[in-house]
Amino acid sequence: MRTLCLAAAILSAAACATAARATLQDRFEAIGLSPRMASCMVDDLDERLSDEDLRDLARYTVGLSRADTPLQAIDSLLEIENPRAVAAIGRSAFACVTGFNR
């Protein structure tokens, strides 16, 4: 029984992380990032942030409206009140635009 509960908890956590990734991908595109840029950033953010920070960022993006330019979209993402997410967004955007990794 204990093993079953542990397995359920692990699957639940994985599902939340996957849902946050999907939300971020959709919201990044909705605020003006190209599908390629959105995918690159989500992949990079998934490596840089904890599941909790990813969920926090996903919740934050729901309130954002479409930006006129990709740079404005990135600027709006940098307004989140989560210092880890802000740093990761900046690094992720830089890495995805330039192709430089860490």
Band the pLDDT of 1: cuts 50, 70, 90. Answer: low
For 15-52, the pLDDT digits (tens) are 445 789 999 999 999 988 899 999 999 999 999 999 99
C-alpha separations of 29 from 8, 13, 25, 83, 99 in Å: 32, 25, 6, 23, 19
Q: What is the pLDDT of residue 18?
A: 79
Q: Identify the residue with better confidence: 49 or 12.
A: 49
**Residues 6 or more apart in contact with residue 55 via CB below 8 angstroms:** 16, 17, 20
Residue-level pLDDT at 86: 92
- Using one digit for the tens of pLDDT, what is the confidence trace for 51-94? 999 999 999 888 888 888 888 888 888 888 999 999 999 999 99
Q: Give the pair of three-digit tokens for residue 80.
A: 């989140």
Question: Residue 11: what pLDDT?
Answer: 40
